[in-house]
Amino acid sequence: MAKDTSDINGRGPHTIENIAYIRQMLAELREVAEREGAQMLCYLIEMAYAEANDLHMLSTPSIHDARRNKAASKPVKGS
């Protein structure tokens, strides 16, 4: 299981796996809504998907964050 992380808004712990699951379910619901011709529902699901995607990106450490944190932990040498 993935390590719990907190989003930047302090809403509490979220796991990367849970957010990924929500995104997957929203994508499937979008397909069903599209087949039914429910355009407004498609739009709302797409907005929820975009929000889930944003949360996923915030809770997933990037390679750039790892490099930045590693560089920040190194002592600065004087001239």
- Rounded alpha-carbon distances, angstroms, from residue 67 to 26, 62, 63: 32, 9, 6
**pLDDT tens-place string over residues 24-67:** 999 999 999 999 999 999 999 999 999 999 988 887 776 655 56
What is the arithmetic mean of pLDDT over 5-31?
77
Chain CA centroid to CA 56, Å = 1
Query: What is the pLDDT at residue 1?
Result: 45
Query: What is the pLDDT at residue 23?
Result: 95
Radius of gyration of the chain (CA): 18
Question: Has this prediction a pTM greater than 0.75?
Answer: no
Coil, strand, or helix at residue 32?
A: helix
What is the arithmetic mean of pLDDT over 12-34?
89
